[in-house]
Amino acid sequence: MLIAMTGANGLLGRNLLLEIIKQNYKNLSDLEVFVFGRSTNSETLHKRIIGILSEEAFDYINDKDVEKDELIKILSEKIKCFEFNLGEPSNKVSEDDLKKLSSKEIDFFFHVASLTDFRDGELVKARLEKTNIIGTNQVLESLPKMNIKEFAHVSSAYVCGAKSGKVDPNYIDFNQKFRNPYEMTKLKAEHNVRTFCSKNSIKFKIFRPSTICGRLIENRIGATPKFDVFYSWAAFFLRYKEKVLAGKSDVFDTPIDVSLRFYFSPTGGLNIVPVDFVAKFIYQASIQQNRNQSYHICNDEEVPHELYTSLMLKTVNVNGVKNVYSRPTDLNQFEAFYYKTVGKIFTPYITQDPILFDLNSTREVCANANLFCPKIDEAAFTEIMKYAKTKSFGGFNIKKESLNTV
């Protein structure tokens, strides 16, 4: 099996790569992976990928008969890396690399890489368009020069924008209300994939995951390299605590009280799905050659806003938050800061009516693979928080006036 992919160093990409390895590690002689991405000033792309596998592959495979050093040695030879910096004007696959790529039939090309940022400034919008739209177009333009059997594009369940009620996995409406430029750029990118592949007779699949969290199936439970989206909501309070405590006491152990009326919908929730389930689903839908073309990768049930936010507040040891079901107007100083920053980003998601993602095509794949999506209940979300706490929610690595998720 020959796989090509972008985004292998990101949250979903690395888990997809790990899942591919897990499903094929007993017969690695038949596996080859082409990874498209960029090197940094300090590390080559190949070194970055092998570093990830050295840290995570042994736990993910979870087979005591596997010899770690030997596994990494083989994988180092089986993974070929190609420089590809999404959105850059000069970005293109070199002629030498194209010769290598076109000489073999690629079974699946997974385009996973993208930029996630829920802010709405002009600079952010430009960066989103550069990576998500222009970058995806660059990937598409390279496809006819390769020998690819199937192309898979990772979109987002939230390309439906602010629509509530039942949503089909093929639903596209550019005239709907979008909560931020991110949703619009992901929809444009997906639409471009559908149009380009149909025009050029390239077989393709569209995967629309909802809000992705750390692992809940494979080791290490809760593991994630990124602490964005709902994690950033908790990180907001940690940063505030860090400022208030000024290093005088432990930011997790020391409780503080805040004066915040927290506005959300009591009937709604957040659809959260574990990253390892998403990776397993994408792999299974591809190798099954499932007849469907579009899939929502979502949980059967939303996690009530009151449940997961209360568990996050408990984890970060913050008291004084009062739940309200209409937006307060006479804001105190802390509330004004909250609704200007993190509240501005998340309030549109936590105040709308429930979104009912159609999962018929998803259930078909899961039934054939005997694959089940873990339910995100109190116990599961507590495990997610335990891991996040061990990593200090990424060291509160968010910008002061935003929750940037790259």
pLDDT tens profile 317-367: 999 999 999 999 999 999 999 999 999 999 999 999 999 999 999 999 999
Let me know if residue 141 belongs to a domain: yes
Let me know if residue 153 belongs to a domain: yes
Let me know if residue 378 belongs to a domain: no
Domain span holding position 84: 2-216+271-300
Let me know if residue 311 belongs to a domain: no
- For the ranges 76-90, 184-198, 207-221, 392-406, the lowest mean pLDDT is seen at 392-406
Let me know if residue 388 belongs to a domain: no
| Cα Rg of the chain (Å, integer) | 21
Check if the beta carbon of residue 324 is closer than 8 Å to that of residue 306. Answer: no
pTM reported for the whole predicted model: 0.96
**CB within 8 Å of 186: residues ≥ 6 apart:** 114, 132, 155, 156, 158, 159
pLDDT tens profile 46-92: 999 999 999 999 999 999 999 999 999 999 999 999 999 999 988 87
pLDDT tens profile 373-385: 999 999 999 999 9
Total domains in the fold of the chain: 1
Let me know if residue 345 belongs to a domain: no
CATH code of residue 276? 3.40.50.720
DSSP 93-135: --HHHHHHHHTSEESEEEE----------HHHHHHHIIIIIIH
- 8-state DSSP, 41: S
Let me know if residue 138 belongs to a domain: yes
**Spatial separation of the C-alpha atoms in residues 41 and 394, rounded to whole Å:** 22
pLDDT tens profile 124-146: 999 999 999 999 999 999 999 99
Let me know if residue 312 belongs to a domain: no
